[in-house]
Amino acid sequence: MAFTLEIGKKAIGFDLPATDGNSYSLESFKDSKYLVVFFTCNHCPYVINSDEVTRRTAERFKPLGVEFVGINSNSKNTYEEDDFDHMVARMKEHQFPWKYLYDESQEIALAYGALRTPHFYVFNENRELVYTGRGVDSPRDASKITVNDLANALEELTSGKKISVPVTNPIGCNVKWDGKEKHWMPADACDLVW
Above 80 in pLDDT, residue 7?
yes
Task: Report, as an integer, the average pLDDT of 18-25.
Answer: 98
Provide the 3-class DSSP secondary structure of residue 111.
helix
Residue range 38-90, pLDDT digits in tens: 999 999 999 999 999 999 999 999 999 999 999 999 999 999 999 999 999 99
Domain count, the chain: 1
pLDDT for the residue numbered 188 = 74
Question: Which residue range(s) make up the domain with 62?
Answer: 9-189
Q: What is the CATH number of the domain that holds 73?
A: 3.40.30.10
Residue 119 has phi, psi (to 5 degrees) of -135, 120
Residue 9, number of CB atoms within 10 A of its CB: 16
The rounded mean pLDDT for the chain is 95
pTM of the entire structure?
0.96
pLDDT for the residue numbered 194 = 41
